[in-house]
Chains A and B, each alone.
Chain A
Amino acid sequence: MTAADASNSGTTLIDALLSASAAGIIELLSPYPPGWGGALLVGLLHSIEIALGATCLGLLIGTGGAYGKLYGGPVVRDLLAVYTTIVRAVPELVLILLLYYAGTDLINQALTAMGYQRVDISGLAAGIAVLGFVQGAYSTEVIRGAILAIPQGQIEAARAYGMSPGLLLRRITLPAMLPFAIPGLANLWLIATKDTALLAVVGFYELALATRQAAGVTKAYFTFFFAAGVLYLLLSLFSNLIIGRIEAWSRRGMPSLKEAR
């Protein structure tokens, strides 16, 4: 066999392998049952649900926490400082395990003490609660900083008009702090979407776990983890687009950042 023949057969072999693997990849990733694309998309949907829920819960905790840190009594302030310090110093993975076991245990003990049956807590609710608790610590700091960045005169003016604290929060503090808080909160949203992957370690069905199952069954590890990476990346890039819109909206009526420079 001459060298030309050898190289020729080599290229045909590579061609055959490439087309076969390309067809195989498309088959593996197709959204209908023999393929696993559908399972990945369901996993992505669960990830987004958990991230949305956790961010909303985190915002609620964060707003309350920031108010407590700024206007609360000394005990409230110290307890909140302990909360934010501990949550930010311990790895999310450890917190997720700890809160998941402790949370389900506490709820079940409370239920049995009150004479009810033990319940299985749904993965979605537990995931949202655990990640929301973690997000709350970070958003507390972000929102506290944003409230401090509001010119003090605006709040004083609102008080001078005789606004009640609730009205002050709704009409002045929240809208005025938004442009300062959006960059930090957007960062937290991106962290939340990525932290949902950690829930795979505890066994919640979301994108990372779906990918792991698909890869384990088909043995096409590289294909599936790569596909999952692309899905997460698309989610991040899409979020960035939306965040840009929201930031522009929250800064309406303010001088643009470029002119400020």
Chain B
Amino acid sequence: MKGYELYIAIAYLVLAPFIGGLLAGFDRRISARLQGRMGPPLLQPFYDLRKLFTRSLAPVNRLQVPLVVSHLVFAVLTGFLIFWGGDILLIIFVLTLAGIFLVLAAYSTGSPYSAIGADRELIMMTAYEPMVILTLVGFFKVAGSFNFWDIAMIGKPTILLLPGLFIGFEYVLLMKLRKSPFDLSTSHHAHQELVMGLHADLGGPSLGLVELAHWYESVYLYGLVFLFFSWNPIAAVLGVVGSYLIVILIDNTTARVKWELALSSAWVVALVAGVGNLIPFYLLTGVTH
């Protein structure tokens, strides 16, 4: 892959919306089947997106649209930097910035629903961030580099060296993808205790941009899952598809938790699974690299 990073990053820019849309489509279809329903067509997310972009743009203020656009730009930039082989530590900052822009867009509307959604999204960010950083520290320990392709090309079964970090990362993946039980900030499903939340008051095209950003995000998140399985192509396919299915299963079988439990459990998981994995690993291999 060395030497081709830029092409892969550009391919990500072009293809990620299609892959992300298909991931969302399969997600809705599989969820429906799990509930004994037929479910929407596979391409339904694309129909939704096309419709959203034909709706009239009715921003509630002049700040909302620039903030939503910045959210999309930084979400795309995060994935671009990851696949371009940028420094993953820098990428963490860009990833956080993308999230912050969405939260600011929600706060700017003045709607109480988006304000609660934005509060909860901030809490979720504080919940998942430590685990994400620990995961990257683990990758660095294994590969000696913060570059995506260096980690991918290490040729060691990373999942066997870092099983705790994988469990922790799966846990926060649910938060980052806003899946139940951690869909506190917003959810497409009707009749939740908080209607829309973070996405309230985003009309038509601006909601479309947020959806698009979410598709870009889901692609690079599964790209990070791939790093755990990159030593073998079959393991990589099984690992990524497996974690995708596990996320759907958990989404459909759990009820929404309160923010206290979400935050404390994420930190406990980061401490037990994450640090509990890293300390023995450091002790066994030494602190060098």
B is bound to A: no
